[in-house]
């Protein structure tokens, strides 16, 4: 159980020490392993509000009131990887698989552009149907037809040449969660044919090539300890990704982890706020998993330093097949009710909906 003292009371000395660490982070001072561990071991409900308001202010200082809206296309749920937590792992023979061909992707991109989206996120399982050449063609056409759109890819691990070719074809950003910066923990979440070192190599490659690069992790994933989360925080502090994807672990019935408990919203919010202070300029989405866990999740995420929301543009029947975890929110762009809910949260957080390209600022 992580951050396990969250609902305990602290003495004043402990609270003061926590607050002085928050102030250090807020002032750009790097923390050490033991400092982060102290935070995670001792943070509680009471003192979280201090951290949260620092994160909120930091985000405001850098990005003003914008909540950047991204259009998400889940292009394929075929996957050759076999992550123990994920509902679209290759060993899940009950998953209903689908993939979009290039014309379907263009169709959704056109729709998105007309609706005002200026960032398109193409996300999918690791599906070899999309060869380097096919992806170059798809990305090249979108780049040509819509020069003012940011193209974000989230297609897993590829070799350096492929990443570079896709960048040259016109992709700008790449999301690849590191999942765990502790090798030991990473290996508990993945089968032995998946390599922690390769994951880290990929992230380094992406950054070197020039992508705005996104790392990230699940909070409350099986076997995760505060020590593991500290490794994640140290990694974020060093790597300084331009984007950070964080959400709770949520169980899926057709995975080896089906009996493991879900992550907790309070812990996710702590990680959002720390991520904001550790990487002040990060684009930090309030993720679908966070909204799926709790209907107050999105608002609380915006109040804790988040400044991005991704809206699902895939067809509704396909969305149901893209099930990484149980109770995933299937609502999306076609539902006005959904946009209204989002707008309400954004207003409540005193922020503004922003469809512009929303690049990383530095
Ligand atoms: N719960 C929460 N997040 C998950 N992901 C995959 N499976 C789950 C799950 N069961 C996340 C992983 C992956 C991203 C696409 O979705 O972090 O990188």
pLDDT in tens, 69-124: 999 999 999 999 999 999 999 999 999 999 999 999 999 999 999 999 999 999 99
d(CA 57, CA 304): 9
What per-residue confidence (pLDDT) applies to 38? Answer: 98
pLDDT in tens, 20-77: 999 999 999 999 999 999 999 999 999 999 999 999 999 999 999 999 999 999 999 9
Q: Ligand 1 pocket test: which of 73, 81, 85 has the largest number of ligand atoms within 8 Å of its C-beta?
A: 85
| Domains (range + CATH), the chain | 31-354 (3.20.20.70)
d(CA 20, CA 105): 49
Average pLDDT of the segment spanning 9-17 = 94
Q: Ligand 1 pocket test: which of 325, 326, 328 has the largest number of ligand atoms within 8 Å of its C-beta?
A: 325
> Would you say residue 228 has pLDDT above 60?
yes
64: left (phi over 0), alpha (psi -120 to 50) or beta: left
CA distances from 206 to 148, 196, 199, 248, 275 (A): 22, 16, 11, 25, 20
Q: How confident is residue 337, by pLDDT bands cut at 50, 70 and 90?
A: confident
State the distance from the centre of ligand 1 to the C-alpha of 324, rounded, in angstroms. Answer: 6
Task: Give the pocket of ligand 1 (CB within 6 Å).
Answer: 85-86, 177, 179, 218, 247, 249-250, 252, 289, 324-325
What per-residue confidence (pLDDT) applies to 3? Answer: 83
> Would you say residue 1 has pLDDT above 60?
no
Which residue's CA lies nearest to atom 6 of ligand 1? 86
Mean pLDDT of the chain: 96
Residue 73's SS3 state is strand
């Amino acid at each position: 159980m992580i951050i396990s003292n969250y609902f305990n009371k602290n003495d004043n000395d402990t609270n003061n020490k926590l607050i002085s660490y928050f102030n250090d982070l807020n002032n750009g001072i790097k923390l050490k392993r033991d400092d982060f561990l102290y935070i995670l071991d001792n943070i509680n409900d009471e003192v979280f509000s201090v951290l949260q308001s620092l994160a909120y202010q930091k985000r405001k200082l850098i990005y003003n009131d914008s909540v950047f809206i991204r259009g998400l296309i889940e292009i394929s749920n075929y996957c050759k990887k076999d992550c123990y937590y994920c509902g679209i792992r290759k060993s899940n023979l009950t998953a209903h698989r689908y993939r979009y061909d290039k014309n379907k992707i263009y169709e959704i991109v056109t729709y998105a552009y007309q609706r005002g989206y200026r960032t398109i996120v193409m996300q999918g399982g690791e599906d070899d149907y999309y060869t380097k050449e096919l992806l170059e063609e798809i990305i090249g056409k979108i780049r040509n037809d819509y020069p003012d759109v940011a193209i974000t890819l989230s297609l897993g691990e590829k070799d350096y040449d492929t990443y570079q070719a896709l960048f040259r074809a016109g992709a700008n950003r790449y999301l690849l969660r590191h999942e765990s910066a502790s090798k030991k923990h990473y290996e508990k979440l993945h089968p032995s044919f998946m390599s922690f070192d390769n994951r880290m190599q990929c992230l380094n490659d992406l950054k070197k090539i020039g992508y705005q690069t996104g790392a990230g992790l699940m909070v409350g994933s099986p076997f995760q300890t505060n020590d593991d989360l500290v490794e994640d925080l140290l990694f974020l502090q060093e790597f300084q990704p331009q984007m950070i994807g964080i959400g709770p672990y949520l169980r899926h019935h057709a995975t080896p982890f089906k009996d493991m408990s879900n992550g907790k919203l309070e812990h996710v919010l702590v990680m959002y706020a720390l991520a904001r202070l550790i990487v002040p300029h990060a684009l930090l989405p309030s993720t679908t998993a966070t909204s799926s866990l709790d209907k107050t999740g999105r608002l609380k995420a915006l109040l804790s330093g988040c400044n991005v929301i991704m809206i699902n543009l895939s067809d509704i029947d396909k969305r149901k097949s893209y099930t990484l975890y149980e109770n995933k929110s299937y609502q999306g762009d076609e539902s006005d009710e959904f946009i209204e809910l989002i707008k309400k949260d954004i207003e409540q957080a005193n922020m503004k909906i922003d469809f512009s390209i929303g690049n990383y600022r530095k």
